[in-house]
Structure 1
Amino acid sequence: MTKADVDRVGFIYQITMTPDGKTALVAYNGLDEPEAVVVEVWDLRRKAHPARRSTLKVPGSHLYGLSVSADGKTAVAVRNDDTGAIVWDLTDPAHPATVAELDHKDHAERTAALSHDGRRVVLGTSKGGVDVWDLGDRTKPVHRATMDDDFRDVYAVALARNGDLVLAADFQGRATLGPVTAVETGQAGGSEAGPRHGDGRPQ
C-alpha cells in the first residue's frame, strides 16, 4: 500500500503474503465505500516499486480471515455475515475471479488456512468446529469432514506445509493439534495444548 492510499483507508482488517514474498493481499474498510471490505492484490517482485494488480470488494463491514496459497493462485476470504468463505482464483492477478463459496450447515466461518499447494483449506467456525475442504477443483469444492469434538468459537487455524496437520484454537483457551487424515476418517481427536491442571488434565 502506497503513501497515497492512506487517506482512503479506515482500518486494515487482514494481510497475507506468499512465502516467496512476491504476492500480498491487503483487506481494509475503504472510507469511500463503508458498506464493503476492499481487498487489494499486490505484486511485490520489485520491492522498491510494489504494484497493485487488482481490487476486490466483499460485502459487509469486516473480514474475519484471509489466506493465500504459496503460489499465489488461490485465496480464501471469510466474510463477517455468516454466509461462508469466498474462494478466489488469482492465476491472473490483474483479473481475479470468484470461483466458489464455502458454507457448511451454517457453521458461521471465522478464520481460514490454506495448504501450501492450495488444494486444501480448513475453516474455523463459531458453531461447528473446524471444517476441512478439498479445493482440488476450485470451482467444485468438496466438504471432506468436520473436526468438532467439543470445539466452539474457533478463532484461529493453521495448516502444516503439506496440509496434513491442523492446529486450531478456540475461545475456551485451548489449542488442539491433529492430523487431517484422522479428521477425514471421523477420528477428530488430537493433542490438546493450553491451560492444564497440575496433574496434566486440561482445565
Structure 2
Amino acid sequence: MALLIGTGVPVGLRAHTVSQARAIALDGIKQRGSDWYAADLLGYVAVLTHSDGYTTSALAETLIEERRGFLPGTATVIDVALSSDGKLALISDAQEGSGLWRLERDPEADRENLTGSRFTTLDRGFGPVALSSDGRIAVIGEAASGDIKMWDLVGAADPKRTVVRTGNFKERLLDVSLSADGMTLFAGFENGSVEVWRLGAEEKPRLLARVREHTSGVRVVSASADGRKLLTVSQDSAIVWSLTDPSHPGLSSRLMSAEHAPGASGWGGGVMSADGRKAIIDRTIWDLTDPARLTQVGSLSSPAEGGTPVAIADDGSIAATVDDEPGGVSRIDPVIIWGLKDPSHPIRLATLKVPVSQSWQLAMSGDGAVIAVGTRAGGAYSWLLPKLRSSLIRDACVASGPRRPPPGFWESISEIEPPDVLNEELFNICSRL
C-alpha cells in the first residue's frame, strides 16, 4: 500500500508527477528555436502537471527567448530610444555610430518577437539620444564635446540634419529628452546646468533657457509629452520644473537625495511618465499630480546600485529597471518589468535576460509592449511583450491562446506519457493557470 503524505496524495504518485512534469519541461526546452508552439505547449503542460520553481522558470525562459529579438549591427550601446509605437529604435553605439532600426514582426515566423533591421546611419558619433513620439525627430548628442544635432526624418531616405548646439568641449553632455512632438529639447550637463531649446523643421534652433540648480551632473532629463513639465535628476537632488513658459522654467519641487536616500551615494537614475503624473527616482515611486507637493507612494524591491536606468509607459502603469545588484557575479544584469497600477504595491511581472554582456540602457514604447535594451558589449535587443496584467506566463498564454494539441501532435514532440490533463474533454490551458 502506498505511503500517504499529509494532503492524501501517495508519495509514489506525487514523485511520479513531479518527475513527469520536469521531463515535459525539459522536452519544451529542447524545442526552443525549432518549434516555438511546441516549446510553449510543453512548457504550459509541465506547469499544469506540477508547478514548481523548475517548471515555471523553464516556461518563463521559453517565453522570454521566443519574444526576444536582436538588432544586428550593434555592439557597444551607449544609449537607446524608441518611438511611442515601438516600431522605430534610435541606437547610439560606440563602435557603429548612431542610426535607426525598424522593429517589425516577421509574418513567416512562428516567434512572438520583432525583427530589427538597420535602415540608415545618421552620424558616426555617439552619445545620449532622444526620439519624438511619432519617430519624426531624432536628436543625437556627443557626450565629450557637448554637441547636439537633430534630424528631421519625414523623408526617411534623405534625413535633414540641423546642428542645434556646438559645445566645443566646454561642458560634458549627460542626457537629452524631447517633448512628444519633437519641438522642445531638454539637455542636462555635467556642471549641473539644464538647457531648453526650441526646435523646428523650418527654423533655426533657439536656446530658450539655461538654468543651474543642481550642484552635480544632471544625469536625467525626462519631459512630459506636452513639454510642460520636466524632471531632472543629479546625484544630490531631483527637481520637477514647470514649463508653462519654456523661456522661464519654474522650480516646482526639489527632493534632496541625502534626505530621501540616506546612506546611499546619491541618485543617478530616474524617469517621468509621459502624462506627467508619476516618476521613478532610482527605486522610489512618486506622485507628481501636484508638482508643488510631491508624494512618495511606493518603492521597488531589491534595491540596486544608484544610477541604474529606468523606463516607464506613457500612463505610468508599467515600468522597467535594470537589476544591477552590487557585487553581482554573472554581469548579465536582467531587466525587471514592474506593474505599477497600484504603486504602493508594485508587481514583478517579468524578468528579461540578454544572452551575453551587461544590460545598461533601456527604453519602452508608450504602451509598455516593446522593450529595447542596450548592452555594454553584446549589442541591442528588443522584446515584444503581451499586455501585462498579472504575470508573463498567464498574460502570454491569454494573448497567444495555446490550444489542445491535434491527434498525434504530442507523440511527435515528446516521448513522455501524456499527462491526465490532456485527456480531459474541456482542456483549456489559460483558464487553469
TM class by smaller structure: 0.7 to 0.9
Residue 47 of structure 1 deviates from its aligned partner by 4.7
The one-character-per-residue Cα deviations of 1:55-104 (angstroms, maximum 9, x if unpaired) are 11133342221111111011111112xx3311111111011011101342
Given candidates 289, 300, 307, the residue that maps to 1:136 is 289
Residue 151 (structure 1) aligns with: 303
Given candidates 318, 339, 348, the residue that maps to 1:165 is 318
**Which secondary structure does the structure 1 equivalent of 2:341 belong to?**
helix
Residue 274 (structure 2) aligns with: 116
Given candidates 312, 319, 339, the residue that maps to 1:179 is 339
2:198/2:206 contact within 8 Å kept: yes
Given candidates 332, 346, 349, the residue that maps to 1:190 is 349
Residue 45 of structure 1 deviates from its aligned partner by 3.2
Given candidates 229, 249, 269, the residue that maps to 1:74 is 229
Residue 56 (structure 1) aligns with: 211
Residue 177 (structure 2) aligns with: 16
Residue 11 of structure 1 deviates from its aligned partner by 1.4
**Which secondary structure does the structure 2 equivalent of 1:189 belong to?**
strand
Q: Rg larger in 1 or in 2?
A: 2
Higher-strand-fraction structure: 1
1:100 aligns with 2:259: no
**Which secondary structure does the structure 2 equivalent of 1:54 belong to?**
strand
1:66/1:111 contact within 8 Å kept: no
Residue 51 of structure 1 deviates from its aligned partner by 1.0
Aligned residues: 181
RMSD after superposition: 2.3
Higher-helix-fraction structure: 2
Residue 32 (structure 1) aligns with: none
1:9/1:28 contact within 8 Å kept: no
After superposition, the Cα gap between the structure-2 partners of 1:46 and 1:91, relative to the gap in structure 1 and judged at 3 Å, is farther
Residue 43 (structure 1) aligns with: 198
2:194/2:218 contact within 8 Å kept: no
**Could you tell me how far apart the structure 2 residues matched to 1:10 and 1:42 are?**
16
The one-character-per-residue Cα deviations of 1:96-145 (angstroms, maximum 9, x if unpaired) are 01110134243532211111111111111xxxxx1110010000011000
1:85/1:102 contact within 8 Å kept: yes
After superposition, the Cα gap between the structure-2 partners of 1:3 and 1:102, relative to the gap in structure 1 and judged at 3 Å, is closer
Bigger relative contact order, structure 1 or 2, given CA contacts below 8 A and separation 6+? 2
After superposition, the Cα gap between the structure-2 partners of 1:187 and 1:79, relative to the gap in structure 1 and judged at 3 Å, is closer
Residue 151 of structure 1 aligns to which amino acid in structure 2? Answer: P
Q: Which moved more, 1:110-119 or 1:100-109?
A: 100-109
After superposition, the Cα gap between the structure-2 partners of 1:157 and 1:3, relative to the gap in structure 1 and judged at 3 Å, is closer
**Any gaps of 5 or more consecutive residues in structure 1?**
30-35, 125-129, 197-203
Provide the identity percentage.
23
After superposition, the Cα gap between the structure-2 partners of 1:139 and 1:7, relative to the gap in structure 1 and judged at 3 Å, is same
Residue 156 of structure 1 aligns to which amino acid in structure 2? Answer: P
Residue 64 of structure 1 aligns to which amino acid in structure 2? Answer: R
